[in-house]
Chains A and B, each alone.
Chain A
Amino acid sequence: MKPPSGGPATATRPSSPEPAAEQERRERQDRSGSWSRRLRSRGAWTGRPAVLWAGSVLSVLVVTWCVTAGTTDAGLLDVWRAVRLAVFGGVLTEDFAQTYSVIINLRLPRVLLAFAAGAALSLAGVVMQGLLRNPLVSPFTLGVSPAAAFGAALAILLTGGSAGSGSTLVIGSALGTALGVSALVLGLASAKAMSAATLLLLGIALTQLFEAMTAALQFVADENTLQAIVRWTFGSVNDAGWNDVLVVGACTVAALPLLLWFSRDLNAIAFAGDDAAKSLGVNVTAVRVGLIVVSVVLAAVVVSFCGVIGFVGLVGPHIARLAIGADHRYLLPFSFVTGGLLLVVADTVGRTVLAPSVVPVGIVVAFIGAPVFINLILTRRAAQ
């Protein structure tokens, strides 16, 4: 290493906050480069924590705003008053009782459930895309969603509709089937050394199989059960309760630090590939199985509580990646934010756009996500 006083600043540098020196160095080194590239590259290095912070603050603001939106008039003050009352207790005046109940029992749980579900699916999507080294993969690639839908449909059908889509039996059946099928996929793939291609192909096969099985159940379903089954196939947070929020939220919040812990290994697998990651000291098979299990559990929990909400698990990671880069140490927390925001906004649009009717969030998110996604892809290509 050259002494700091000697040669170019390059030898002792970065990550230390020396914007002036860094800029000077860049300008010396990158004389041929264009302004835009220089700006962009600097942004990529120094801006990421800022982007992360901005995303977190934006989430809080958007979530708060979404709680105020809806059929019943409620302002920010009402929300604050209701939350304060719920947290610290107090006397509920009669004229505020209905607004309080709407905010605390209807809106807050649904907004938080939407955020948690979106964050969970987005996180799971990042992990699956990284582990399988394929940006087109989603948390549902291994067949989680059709399996869960089948489990739910079976439970609804067998109880003749007396178990609603939010009942413990239906949720349990969906979760059990989703986890069982994922275990099957992983088990079968282990015979082929867990290669990404094998996992993908098995996922496709089981997706087809379970979609057909769910369709078959719909075919034999009668008026009593058909609507509940169909409803299951497009996700909804309309019936969110605090229990749902607790379970989905706890899983999601617990998963983030766990995944961050493995972000170094995830980087190695995603960027360097299996062989190089092994040579970099990563136990690729164990990490892949372990993190896929985490991702699948997240997706299965969300699907079991909210039904099949597609697209977030695919688009959330991409939006995050385009905004903050592909380094998983930043990508994981930021995709948590983008996925959560995407679903909260989609749900708020869903319950306001045709108010008083409620459009299921699973439908809205595709309508919002697809154009956003297409726009991001096109502008990104143009920039290169």
Chain B
Amino acid sequence: MSLDVASVRFAYRRTPVLEGVDLRVAEGGFCALLGPNGSGKSTLTKIIARVLSPASGTVSFGGRDLLAAPRREHARVVAYVPQSGATPFEQTVREAVLLGRTPHIGLRPTRRDWETVDAAIERLGLSELADRPLSQLSGGQAQRVLIARALAQRPRVLLLDEPTSALDLRYQIETLQLVRAVTREEGVTALIAIHDLNHAAHFCDQAVLLDGGRVVADGPPSEAFDAAVLSRVYGLDVRVSRGETGVEVRPAALETVTGVSAAPTESV
């Protein structure tokens, strides 16, 4: 089984955003969607989450067409973590996570639903905050609530749209560790739109680099990160170093300032 995206095209009015994107993520894989601002990572995530409809192309999971399925059925397979979840109304953490059960519940949540909700809260380390209103949480805590909501959805595919951009370093790392653990332990397929190349390299099994609505690199991070390609895509001279801890990307400008590079460096 795998998540397959085939020749997906999308345009906002006349502006093309995705121009035929193909990618495959193996079941249980953790894939990073990389690329500069405007490269189409968020758009692709939203298309798979069915927030947006593509002009053409298909998305399927395990051979099943996700775009044609009824919304509720799709939502039982795919969960989506948006960038932020500001809400105009007061809600407790538990109520917010319960929203993840929306595609599963009928008129009222059952005991099982609540168990799932509490398990998700527990998993994100939010138990102490379970009855706090969202407005009293920090940005990092609020982000974890959104992830807990997605986990409560019990999805097979987890989509995250730049979940770490508003978090401090500790929460960034914790979030990525958590998503990786979910993929490892529960076989959930995860796709994360993310900016930090090094985090992607460290946590993800697969890196997909988007540029101008096309895939320009796809593969394990150590293979997909190519100094020449990255420099071109980001319009910034970067160096890629491969060491024992994995692949690492640094802007060349910083390299010359610090002037330190223990590992062999592949230059442009």
Query: Quick check: do A and B touch in the complex, using CB within 8 A?
Result: yes
Give the interface of A toward B (CB within 8 A): 1, 10-16, 29-30, 32-33, 37, 41-42, 44-45, 130, 133-135, 260-261, 264-265, 267-268, 270-283, 321, 325-327, 329, 384
Q: Which residues of B contact A11 (CB under 8 A)?
A: 115, 118-119, 122
Instruction: With both chains docked as a complex, state the minimum distance between the C-beta of A282 and any C-beta of chain B, in angstroms.
Output: 7
| B 84-118 binary contact with A (CB < 8 Å = 1; else 0) | 01111111100110011011010111010011001
Asked if residues B102 and A15 are in contact (CB atoms below 8 Å), the reply is no
| B 147-177 binary contact with A (CB < 8 Å = 1; else 0) | 0010001000001000000000000000000
Asked if residues A45 and B131 are in contact (CB atoms below 8 Å), the reply is yes
Asked if residues A273 and B49 are in contact (CB atoms below 8 Å), the reply is no
Q: Which residues of B contact A270 (CB under 8 A)?
A: 87-89
* Other A-B pairs beyond A273-B86, A278-B49, 11, CB < 8 Å: A12-B115, A16-B111, A44-B92, A271-B99, A272-B87, A276-B99, A281-B75, A282-B102, A325-B92, A325-B95, A327-B95
Pairs across A and B, CB under 8 Å, 8 listed:
A11-B119, A13-B118, A42-B131, A272-B87, A273-B87, A275-B80, A275-B82, A276-B80
| Residue of B with least CB distance to A14 | B114
A42 to B103, CA, bound (A): 27
CB of B238 within 8 A of chain A? Answer: no
Asked if residues A281 and B118 are in contact (CB atoms below 8 Å), the reply is no
Asked if residues A280 and B76 are in contact (CB atoms below 8 Å), the reply is no
Instruction: With both chains docked as a complex, state the minimum distance between the C-beta of B159 and any C-beta of chain A, in angstroms.
Output: 8
Q: Which of B72, B127, B149 contacts A29 (CB 8 A)?
A: B127
A265 to B89, CA, bound (A): 15
Q: Which residues of B contact A13 (CB under 8 A)?
A: 114-115, 118
Q: Which of A130, A265, A277, A281 contacts B74 (CB 8 A)?
A: A281
Asked if residues A10 and B76 are in contact (CB atoms below 8 Å), the reply is no
Asked if residues B107 and A261 are in contact (CB atoms below 8 Å), the reply is yes
CB of B32 within 8 A of chain A? Answer: no
| Residue of B with least CB distance to A322 | B90
Asked if residues A276 and B85 are in contact (CB atoms below 8 Å), the reply is yes
Q: Which residues of A contact B73 (CB under 8 A)?
A: 281
Asked if residues A280 and B114 are in contact (CB atoms below 8 Å), the reply is no
Asked if residues B127 and A278 are in contact (CB atoms below 8 Å), the reply is no
Q: Which residues of A contact B115 (CB under 8 A)?
A: 1, 11-13
Asked if residues A14 and B46 are in contact (CB atoms below 8 Å), the reply is no
| Residue of A with least CB distance to B76 | A281
Q: Which of A264, A274, A326 contacts B107 (CB 8 A)?
A: A264
Q: Which of B72, B91, B105, B118 contacts A10 (CB 8 A)?
A: B118
CB of B136 within 8 A of chain A? Answer: yes
A1 to B118, CA, bound (A): 11
A133 to B88, CA, bound (A): 6
Asked if residues A264 and B105 are in contact (CB atoms below 8 Å), the reply is yes
CB of B137 within 8 A of chain A? Answer: no
Asked if residues A29 and B128 are in contact (CB atoms below 8 Å), the reply is yes
A133 to B102, CA, bound (A): 18
- Going nearest first, the 3 A-B pairs with the smallest beta carbon separation are A281-B75, A41-B131, A279-B80
Q: Which of A12, A41, A45, A280 contacts B100 (CB 8 A)?
A: A280
Instruction: With both chains docked as a complex, state the minimum distance between the C-beta of B135 and any C-beta of chain A, in angstroms.
Output: 7
Instruction: With both chains docked as a complex, state the minimum distance between the C-beta of B49 and any C-beta of chain A, in angstroms.
Output: 4
Among residues 27 to 82 in chain B, which have CB atoms less than 8 Å away from a CB atom of chain A?
Answer: 46, 49-51, 71-76, 78-80, 82
A267 to B89, CA, bound (A): 10
Instruction: With both chains docked as a complex, state the minimum distance between the C-beta of A289 and any C-beta of chain B, in angstroms.
Output: 15
Known pairs A45-B131, A270-B89, A275-B82; A283 contacts B71 (CB<8 A): yes
Q: Which residues of A contact B49 (CB under 8 A)?
A: 275, 278-279
A41 to B114, CA, bound (A): 16
A16 to B73, CA, bound (A): 28
Q: Which residues of B contact A29 (CB under 8 A)?
A: 127-128
Q: Which of A1, A44, A45, A276 contacts B119 (CB 8 A)?
A: A1
| B 190-216 binary contact with A (CB < 8 Å = 1; else 0) | 000000000000000000000000000
Name which of A277, A278, A279, A281 has the most chain B CB atoms within 10 A of its CB.
A279
Q: Which residues of B contact A265 (CB under 8 A)?
A: 102
Asked if residues A326 and B89 are in contact (CB atoms below 8 Å), the reply is yes
Known pairs A15-B114, A264-B105, A268-B99; A279 contacts B78 (CB<8 A): yes
Instruction: With both chains docked as a complex, state the minimum distance between the C-beta of B47 and any C-beta of chain A, in angstroms.
Output: 11
Asked if residues B89 and A10 are in contact (CB atoms below 8 Å), the reply is no
Asked if residues B82 and A276 are in contact (CB atoms below 8 Å), the reply is yes
Q: Which of B72, B82, B128 contacts A30 (CB 8 A)?
A: B128
Known pairs A273-B85, A279-B80; A326 contacts B119 (CB<8 A): no
